[in-house]
Structure 1
Amino acid sequence: MKLVAIYIPRQVLTHIFGENHNGQTINLGGKYIYTLEEDSNKKAYLKERKENPKFIENFWLNNIPLISAIVGENGTGKTTILNSLRDSYSFCKFIYETGNSEEYLINDDAEINEIIYYSSFFNINSSDSENGNFRDLSKYQMMIDDTEYENLDLTTLLELHNSENLKRWIKFIELKNLSGLLEKMALPTFEKIKIKIHTIHIDHHDTSYRFRPFFEELKIRIKKERTQREQAELDRLNLTKREEIRESKATKRIKLELEIISRVILKTQNILENSGNKYLEEGYIKNDYSEESKEFLNQPNTKEAFYWFLENSYIKLSENSKEIYFPVNEIKNLIETLLSSLPEAKDIENWTEFETNFQQALEIIKAYENFLLAFKQNFTYDKKVLISFSPAKNLSSGEKGLYDLFSVLNDLNYRIENNIHKNYSIFNKREEVTDNLLILLDEADLGFHPEWKKKYVNIIQQIIPFIFKKKSIQIIITTHDPLTLSDFPNNNIVYLLKNDNRTEVLDYDSKYRPTKTFGANISDLLAESFFVNDGLIGDFAKEKIEKTIEWINNNIESKIRNTDTFSKELEYHKRVISIIDEPIIKIKLSEMISELEDDNDFQKQILNDEIKFLTKKRDYLK
């Protein structure tokens, strides 16, 4: 089932369509073209349904029934139309076509689909724009989710958000059988990943009473162990001078190892805190052991003491209830995976961060996710950041944009499959999801290199179904780019025209509607589909050329010239002509300006340069 049209009733979006506007039927390119109207009671009804002559069944790839585009000038309401699919715009009517495209359904809401909105912009949407089937993957919402709504400075928030982004990138890159598509996109991968271990500041209000002394004792043991191990290492290396000790990296690995252990312990306790006060009296230690028991004190180091505590502690809600244990294996695996990934002491610059290769980073990510998921059922799914990731190389904005787009979709699919989608943001999500996805890509091609814009529509058809396997996927995009639009049949495009400060949706039979898009010339697309007026060059270049033309014409017509300035002005305008790269304009202006001189050397030079350019181009084609 696919969404083929949206009806916006009259006088409900006056800021877009103007005061007292009529109802707007927005067709997305289904098998039929629909026209809805309203009766005197403002009840919408189907006025007309006629066959779309340019519709092609199974035109798109990989279980995608329909892809549509919305284009128009800035301020015409492209994003507003996307917003019409959210709950706060329930005044709309939605027209769906069933699998065989012969039947249709008019619905009051968009609940038939799971709706996913993606934008690379920092749009701040209000909470009432979310509902049970809508998932906001915009830049702002992702940053809020990634940082767990912590009250931190902007630099720290961006660091944590970028870290979560990189985790998503790595998981996306590691999707099975994806490598061929990545090669087609020519996206870079990373040889080195920087791992940073964050401290977690917690209160002690909701930790079980019997557990608190053990956590306090573990903190004390960490400090003692660090002092002992560092001194032993300095003695082994015979380092006694303050300068030698300061410059040596010998103790940094020890500090880093113990920081990892310490901060995983803090993270575990923080999960207890975030689980609420339901386990205050219900925490128990086997055999009534205490923090002073020899079995605990005789553990050889802090890590083993922590493991001992995990194995001997449990939650029991009542005398007859089952015992709830910590996810010991997942906690151990996280610590051991981190410790096994540490480089040699000589390669450690900081005792809170280190570099790993791509495979090690992926193993850490998986261990960390398993750690978090293991607590979900009996405790809580805690997103406070313990480990952050950053690439050891810089990426262009376009590379980041492509990774962001596909990796957030992949991450959402992971959350849905693991039944943690309801906690994806601050909003409540419905318990179950459908197999129909409607993905809204709001200028997701922004910042892409032209070569990637050429591939954009083709790539999203291949990768998005690769991520959401066995789903029916419909896509609506907004764009300002003619390369992107050249992949769309004309009837799959919604054109919005700004006219006297109000937006007009151009019907298929409108004389103002562009008629050529699919495989069309880029210049034609710019001029028609994006309503670019007054030529297809930049206004600055256009103004410079027009001033040169004006100067030439004035001096051709004038019998009197200022001899003091004429030579300088002539040389200036000849230089302007020489840098123009449109050959017809360039040659014509060189011909015109040569009329002001006794010779035509400048015109000859321009013609010779053009001949050289064309000869070089011909030789290249050979």
Structure 2
Amino acid sequence: MELIFAYIKKFGDFIHDQSIQFSNDFEVHLENKILTVREKKNYLKDFYGDGIKNISVLVGKNGSGKTTLLDILGMNRDDRLRGSVKKNEVDDEYLLLYYIGKNDYGQELFGIEVLGSNVFYDMFTNYDRGDDDDRYDKAKVSIGLVFRYENECFISMGKHFFNEMEENKEDRLSDLIRYAYINESYRYSQRNEHYGIYNPRYDDYIAGRKMYSRSNVYTKYLVICQCIEDNIEGFYFDKVKVKLYDEIDYEYPVWTDDNFKDRYKATINEIEEMLPLWKKINILSNKKKKAEETNKREKYILDLYARYILDMLVNGLYSLCKEGERGRHSGDKARIDIVYHMEYILSLKSNESSYDKLGKPIDYEEELSRVIILISWLKEEYKQAEIFGLRILGRYVGSRIHGEEDNNDFGYVDILEKMTEEMFDIPEEYFQKDGIEFLVVKESNLYLKKFLKKYSEWEKIKKDWHSDIENQFKVHFGLLSEGEERFIDTIAKIKDCVVEDKETKLLIAIMDEPDQAMHPEWARRFIDIMVKTLGKPEHECDIQLIMSTHSPYLLSDILPSNVFLLERSGVERQLSVQRMDKMNGNSCFGANVYDLMKNQFFMENTVGEFATKKLNNLAREIEELGRDNEENIKNIEYFVDQIGESVIQKILKKKLEDRKQRLKLLNNKNRILEMITNQDDKQRIKDYLEMLEDR
């Protein structure tokens, strides 16, 4: 399988009638509304290794449209419709053409993914829809269909991307073709508003798409280990600090809700005093002695548990009670004897609701009173097992902030229990007051490896198992530069998308300037590392890489047939896309970086603009040098010696030397004329010297 062609009839106000041919196996043309596909001999098959179909690169100045084209490829269906359909009018039109392969009858199959109100007439006409009802496809605006290609005609197979290609087989094209948009979280465009959302009900109309803005923590850790062990050529780190910390802040409503502050802050303070909040202990606290006797690991875990419970009480239960009060009837009974229900409370599971037994939360003051009674009871019953008492308290508070319908996927309490269980396996030496710290060195740390692997597993399932692990618990990798961090994160995200899409037959990885912030030497090695990373036998799918760059270092590893120059010109700044091998025989593969810049493919000038202006001014200054200007000549000579480009330096040195010789003649004008006795010769030399003086 392969994405072989994209045609954009219209997108926004600056892209009209542009096409990109991604494949080296097919030649595709769209002329006079006739779409033709011809297979061609690929003399460099498997050029980037087994499994990598090709690597395509978009280059151009800032604002040329690189990110826009990547967005067109990478947007999911919701974002396409939101951005392109306004007031029931479809503003944009484009199609993507995929080669699917041959079916059991030897027929060549193609997938066509479209966006538009009438693509199959407005863009190309050599198709046969047979008995298909195209009203359905027009209504869906963005949809994918399957065709066979015979005698230069696309003949409908009567299937969409959401249909099984063969009966009783899980082979829907919406599953078999996947896009992984690898980007930075702060750089995704407004066109990708729903970039992290996959809705099977709507998104299977076209190929699946997912944006990877954050890498999996465990994958990132493994990449760091590879670098430390010097297993990624050219990338070596001596050590990296890994820190796990939390951002649990339960005081938020105190500062925004005066009602809370006036009515409940004193009660919350009472609960705080009853819980092991070691971070809040002051020197006069009656807990100080106990805090000194508690080891760092237990102190951190108990404090974490206590703050998490308070966060559920303040940020979760308070808002529910406010809603409950608005719908409360005069006959509702809020008061319940919590001790009477203690056996039930002790049996609560981590994802269980107590609404059936204890009623919905209505009276916040009553809810806080129950918590105080429960804490007192637990402190008495579990004096020597404080963590066990907190676990019961956490399950109870959790049971008050979710209803029965959420039982199966409520993970807020479950994640707390799982994380603290894993933390108890970590030796005390790694615990700090504000988190857990490890140093990643050549010697593997089994505690860290095990914990990060578990953390990543919990993070992966957060959509099906609701928790706030991503917001409340953070993992930070320290002692890394911005470039090192970006490199590790990019490699990790690429590994993530390959691992997650094991059932996919075609994975199209899109990257927007992946080499940004990298040292030139790292950019020079980037493609080689990508090929090695994706070439390992961890997947069976075909992979295409489509990326943008400003780097000539990266470009020198790409075949010219897969490099596309984007330029905008004219009053309306319209986009044109040109393939490099079609541009007067230009090439880039294996080219010297200086030559790539010099041919204006990247730059109008290979010297910095400030330096260019300074050198032009220097040349004029040399030409305008007058007599008796020794000090200025010395300044110019010093300046010329600072020039790094030897050719420019040599030209300016010669220019300066010529000017000095001319000035020498002028300074000795009278003496030279006195030495000449022939009047005609004297006049001729005088005229010549005056001419030099005028110049």
* TM-score normalised by length of structure 1: 0.67
* Partner Cα separation in structure 2 for residue 509 and residue 318 of structure 1: 62
Q: CA deviation at 1:59?
A: 1.4
CA–CA distance in structure 1, aligned partners of residues 277 and 484 of structure 2: 47
Give the CA deviation at 1:538: 1.6
What are the ranges of 5 or more consecutive residues in structure 2 without an aligned counterpart?
Answer: 85-91, 115-143, 145-173, 254-267, 325-351, 359-372, 664-695
1:503 maps to which of 570, 575, 587: 575
Tell me the distance in 1 between the aligned counterparts of 2:386 and 2:416: 14
> Is 1:449 the counterpart of 2:519 in the alignment?
yes
Offset, 1:273:
7.0
Give matches, 1:53-64, under 5 Å.
Answer: 55-64=43-52
Deviations 1:335-380 (A, max 9, x none): 24334546559x85xx333433343444433344556678876x62
Structure 1: how far apart are the matches of 2:316 and 2:458? 14
Q: What does residue 587 of structure 2 align with?
A: 516
Shift of 1:466: 5.1
Equivalence for 2:335: none
Instruction: Assess if the C-alpha contact under 8 Å between 1:190 and 1:391 holds in 2.
Output: no
Residue 96 (structure 1) aligns with:
98
Q: Does 1:525 align with 2:596?
A: yes
Return the letter of the residue paired with 2:353.
Y
| Partner residue, 1:262 | 306
Of the three residues 389, 394, 408, the one matched with 2:475 is 389
| Aligned counterparts of 1:189 and 1:273: Cα–Cα separation in 2 | 47
Q: TM-score, normalised by structure 2?
A: 0.60
For residue 78 of structure 1, the aligned residue among 66, 90, 93 is: 66
- 2: CA distance, partners of 1:544 / 1:474: 45
Whether the 8 Å contact between 2:229 and 2:236 is mirrored in structure 1 is: no
CA distance in 1 between counterparts of 2:492 and 2:227 reads: 12
User: Deviation per CA, 1:450-471, whole angstroms, max 9, x where unpaired?
Assistant: 1111111111122245596333
Tell me how far apart the structure 1 counterparts of residues 408 and 634 of structure 2 sit (CA, whole Å).
91
Change (3 A) 1:129 1:82: farther
- Deviation, 1:28, is 1.7
Equivalent pair of 1:373/1:381 in contact (CA under 8 Å): no
- Cα 1:442/1:55, change in 2 over 3 Å: farther
Could you say which residue in structure 2 is the equivalent of 1:32?
Answer: 26
- Taking a change above 3 Å as real, the CA distance of residues 443 and 312 of structure 1, as seen in their structure-2 partners, is closer
* Map of 2:652 onto structure 1: 589
* In 2: Cα distance, 1:389 partner to 1:481 partner: 31
Q: CA deviation at 1:194?
A: 3.0
Q: What is the CA–CA distance in structure 2 between the aligned matches of 1:477 and 1:372, rounded to whole Å?
A: 28
Secondary structure at the counterpart of residue 586 of structure 2: coil
Contact 2:59/2:565 (<8 A) preserved: yes
Seen in structure 2, the aligned counterparts of structure 1 residues 470 and 268 have a Cα distance that, compared at 3 Å, is farther
Structure 2 counterparts to residues 126-145 of structure 1, below 5 A: 126=191, 130=195, 132=203, 133-138=208-213
625, 637, 642: which one aligns with 1:579? 642
Relative distance call for 1:438 and 1:273 in structure 2 (3 A) is: farther
Q: What are the equivalent positions in structure 2 for 1:149-298 lying under 5 Å apart?
A: 167=217, 170-173=220-223, 182-188=231-237, 190-201=239-250, 221-223=274-276, 230-232=288-290, 255-265=299-309, 279-282=353-356, 291=374, 297-298=380-381
Q: Which whole-Å CA distance do the structure 2 matches of 1:326 and 1:588 have between them? A: 73
Distance of 2:587 and 2:403 partners within structure 1: 72
Q: Is the 8 A contact 1:198 1:385 kept in 2?
A: yes
CA contact (8 A) 2:97 2:112 kept: yes
Where does residue 89 of structure 2 map in the other structure? Answer: none
Deviates more, 1:126-135 or 1:568-577: 126-135
Could you say what secondary structure the match of 1:355 adopts?
strand
RMSD between superposed Cα atoms in Å: 4.8
Q: Identity percentage over the alignment?
A: 19
Corresponding residue for 1:304? 388
Any idea what SS the aligned residue of 2:181 has? strand
Is contact 2:57–2:563 with CA below 8 Å preserved after alignment? yes
Equivalent residue number for residue 13 of structure 1: 11
Is the 1:68–1:492 contact (alpha carbons within 8 Å) kept by the matching residues of 2? yes
Name 1:353's counterpart in structure 2: 435
Aligned to 1:617: none
Report if the CA contact (8 A) 2:228-2:236 is conserved: no
Instruction: Note if contact 1:491-1:508 (Cα within 8 Å) is conserved in structure 2.
Output: yes
Q: Match of 1:477, SS? A: strand
Query: How far apart in 2 are the matches of 1:467 and 1:267?
Result: 45
Q: How many Å separate the matches in 1 of 2:621 and 2:517?
A: 38
1:576 Cα shift?
1.8
Partner of 2:678: none
Q: Is the 8 A contact 1:314 1:324 kept in 2?
A: no
AA at the equivalent of 2:577: V
CA contact (8 A) 1:229 1:254 kept: no
> For residues 511 and 303 of structure 2, what CA distance do their matches in structure 1 show?
42
How far residue 172 of structure 1 moved from its aligned partner, in angstroms, is 3.9
Using the TM superposition, give the Cα deviation of residue 254 of structure 1 relative to its aligned residue in structure 2, in angstroms.
6.7
* CA displacement 1:218-246 (0-9 Å, x = unmatched): 86642499866632566x8xxxxxxxxxx
- Alignment partner of 1:125 out of 178, 181, 190: 190
Go from structure 1 to structure 2 and tell me whether the alpha carbon gap of 1:309 and 1:30 turns closer, same or farther (over 3 Å shift).
Answer: same
Q: Distance in 2 between matches of 1:324 and 1:5?
A: 42
Contact in 2 for aligned 1:6/1:93 (Cα 8 Å): yes
* Matching of residue 380 in structure 1 with residue 458 in structure 2: no
Q: CA deviation at 1:391?
A: 3.5
Give yes or no for contact 2:183–2:512 (8 Å, CA) kept in 1. Answer: yes
Per the alignment, in what secondary structure is the counterpart of residue 184 of structure 1? coil
- Residue 26 of structure 1 aligns to a residue in which SS? strand
The residue that corresponds to 2:688 in the other structure is none
Residue 159 of structure 1 aligns with which residue?
Answer: none
User: CA–CA distance in 1 between the matches of 2:579 and 2:469?
Assistant: 48
Alignment-mate amino acid for residue 338 of structure 1: M
Name the SS of the counterpart of 2:13 in structure 1.
helix
Q: What is the deviation of 1:6?
A: 0.6
- After superposition, the Cα gap between the structure-2 partners of 1:97 and 1:221, relative to the gap in structure 1 and judged at 3 Å, is same
Q: Secondary structure at the match of 1:108?
A: strand
Shift of 1:174: 6.9
Give secondary structure in 1 for the equivalent of 2:300: helix
Tell me whether 1:115 sits opposite 2:179 in the alignment: yes
Are the equivalent residues in 2 in contact too, given 1:62–1:461 (CA < 8 A)? no
What's 1:440 paired with? Answer: 510
**Is the 2:622–2:656 contact (alpha carbons within 8 Å) kept by the matching residues of 1?**
yes
Shift of residue 69 of structure 1? 1.0
* SS of the residue 1:580 aligns to: coil
Q: 1:305: Cα distance to partner?
A: 1.5
Query: Per the alignment, do residues 562 and 107 of structure 1 end up closer, same or farther by CA in structure 2, a change over 3 Å counting?
Result: same
- Separation in structure 1 between the aligned mates of residue 560 and residue 462 of structure 2, nearest angstrom: 51
- In 2, distance between residues paired with 1:386 and 1:467? 36
Letter of the 1:8 counterpart = I
Comparing 403-412 with 445-454, greater Cα deviation is found at: 403-412
Answer whether contact 1:95 1:105 (CA < 8 A) is retained: yes
Counterparts of residues 532-611 of structure 1 (less than 5 Å): 532-533=603-604, 535-555=605-625, 561-563=626-628, 566-597=629-660
Cα distance, 1:343–1:476 mapped onto 2, change above 3 Å = same
Q: Distance in 1 between matches of 2:509 and 2:434?
A: 39
Counterpart contact for 2:6–2:94, Cα < 8 Å: yes
Query: What SS does the aligned partner of 1:117 have?
Result: strand
CA distance in 1, matches of 2:483, 2:642: 29
Contact 2:227 2:237 in 1 (8 A): no
- In structure 2, how many angstroms separate the alpha carbons of the residues matched to 1:261 and 1:318? 22
- Measured after TM superposition, the shift of residue 584 of structure 1 is 2.6
Q: CA deviation at 1:185?
A: 4.0
